[in-house]
A and B are shown apart, each in its own frame.
Chain A
Amino acid sequence: MYQFNVYRIGPEIKLGSVDISFTNASLFMVISSLAILIIFNLGAKKKTLIPDKLQLLSELSYSFVAKMISDTAGSKAKPYFSFIFSLFMFVLFCNMFGMIPYAFTVTSHIIVTFVLAAFIFIGVTIIGFMKHGLGYLKLFVPSGVPMVLLPLIVVIEIISYLSRPISLSVRLFANMMAGHTMMKVFGGFVISLGIVGGWLPLSFSVALTGLEILVAFLQAYVFAILTCIYLNDALNLHH
């Protein structure tokens, strides 16, 4: 599990009594953010009618996220577009940079994903209460439920609502960690089985790499789309 270790890079930085040193995790966050900024800035710079590759990439990502938001949360979610776009890109790039050998996967740490998920959860709850006032509590009372079952349903709804940040963060973290662990295990097998039997785990490893790249994209997408769905709950009370 060496690949998940966080270690200090450079001197120890302390803010009061808290340690906020620059670590390898911070390094990869910075790398991911910079990569996003550079790629999209280059893509947005040119204003040609027929886009070149980078411009096409940035414009496709833009319309992809825009479509995702409008499909799941409707037109009311437009003000939150840039947040969801940055969120999606950040998670995606962190996942993808984690696929490079010897790189550190930021999203494989529960604390990172949990902070993101908690921020989303709190933000969505605040938006919900701001839009609907106390009427937002109707979210926990689905319509068309028999009176007998109502207390039970309300309890379940509240629990499911409160477990959103946990499920959101654990989903991403567990996927990333499990994938990387699997890769590491199969890599270790290649070494231990040697030249005779090592081919099978090697081919597995290759296949897993493809799968992991898929998962890296998929989890970023799931993270973003779940955010959209939560936002949709807050913006349009369906219950």
Chain B
Amino acid sequence: MLKKIVILLFVTCFACFNTVFAAESGGMPQLNPEFWISQIFWLIITFGILFIVLTKVILPKISDNLETRKSQILENIETADKQKEESQKKIDEYEKIILDSKLKAKSYFNEAREKILDDINKKKAALEKDLDEEISEVEKELYDLKNKSGEKINKIAAETSAELIKELIGEEVNSSSIAAIVEDQSKINKERKDV
């Protein structure tokens, strides 16, 4: 395979040279000066016109287009940036508002709670005061009653014992001595109770 390719290349090269040299029997057309001046002349004319038209008319237009596009794109980017900033500002504002309202809500809630608690406490205190007053009144009454009842009992006991003695003996005993005895007895009772 490789041999074949090498041989083929050889043949190709040989043929190539053959053709070239065969054609060159009349000399390379490039080295024939017959039309050199004409070629130079037309080259200068065509290239000159091309150069002048490109320089004066076409290239400024293209560079203008490119410039305007560039500036347009830059402008657009600028406005986009501005709008982005604005939207960011708005977002910040919005978040601030939300935060503020949250704080406000919290404070309102706290206020309300405190008020209610205060109310509750006040009412509770008032109620307790009332209750205490009532309780103390009742206790006082009870105490009074208790004290008075003791005296009354003693009195009644002295009176009844005086009458009983009168009935039994038919003689009047000194009421003060009876009262003293009753008092002593009730005192002893009381001490027993306390113990």
Binding site for B on A (CB under 8 A): 1-2, 4-6, 8, 15, 18-23, 25-26, 29-30, 32-33, 36-37, 40-41, 43-45, 47, 49, 51, 55, 58-59, 62-63, 81-83, 85-86, 89-90, 106, 108-112, 115-116, 173, 177, 181-182, 184-186, 188-189, 200-201
Binding site for A on B (CB under 8 A): 8, 12, 15-16, 19-20, 23-24, 28-32, 34-44, 46-47, 49-51, 53-55, 57-59, 61-66, 68-69, 72
In the complex, besides A6-B35, A36-B50, A44-B58, 12 extra interface pairs with C-beta distance below 8 angstroms are A20-B41, A23-B39, A26-B42, A29-B47, A33-B46, A33-B49, A37-B50, A41-B57, A109-B30, A111-B39, A115-B44, A185-B20
Q: How far is the CA of A35 from the CA of B152 in the complex (A)?
A: 144
Q: How far is the CA of A53 from the CA of B23 in the complex (A)?
A: 43
Q: How far is the CA of A154 from the CA of B20 in the complex (A)?
A: 40
Q: List 16 A-B contacts (CB under 8 A).
A: A1-B24, A4-B29, A6-B35, A6-B38, A18-B41, A29-B42, A30-B46, A40-B58, A51-B65, A85-B54, A109-B29, A111-B39, A115-B44, A182-B16, A185-B20, A189-B12
List of B residues within 8 angstroms of A86 by Cβ: 47, 50-51, 54-55
Q: How far is the CA of A122 from the CA of B43 in the complex (A)?
A: 17
B89 CB to closest chain A CB (Å) equals 29
Assuming the contacts A6-B39, A23-B39, A185-B19, asked whether A55 and B50 have C-beta atoms less than 8 A apart, the reply is: no
- Contact of B53 with A110 in the complex, beta carbons under 8 Å: no
**Main SS at interface, chain B:** helix
- Contact of A62 with B38 in the complex, beta carbons under 8 Å: no
Question: What residue of chain A has the Cβ atom nearest to residue B27's Cβ?
Answer: A1
List of A residues within 8 angstroms of B19 by Cβ: 181, 184-185, 188
**Main SS at interface, chain A:** helix
- Contact of A55 with B15 in the complex, beta carbons under 8 Å: no
List of A residues within 8 angstroms of B38 by Cβ: 6, 19-23, 25-26
List of A residues within 8 angstroms of B54 by Cβ: 36-37, 40, 82, 85-86, 89
- Contact of A22 with B62 in the complex, beta carbons under 8 Å: no
List of B residues within 8 angstroms of A2 by Cβ: 23
List of B residues within 8 angstroms of A32 by Cβ: 46
Question: What residue of chain A has the Cβ atom nearest to residue B61's Cβ?
Answer: A44
- Contact of A116 with B43 in the complex, beta carbons under 8 Å: yes
- Contact of A189 with B15 in the complex, beta carbons under 8 Å: yes
List of A residues within 8 angstroms of B43 by Cβ: 29, 106, 112, 115-116
- Contact of B30 with A108 in the complex, beta carbons under 8 Å: yes
A157 CB to closest chain B CB (Å) equals 30
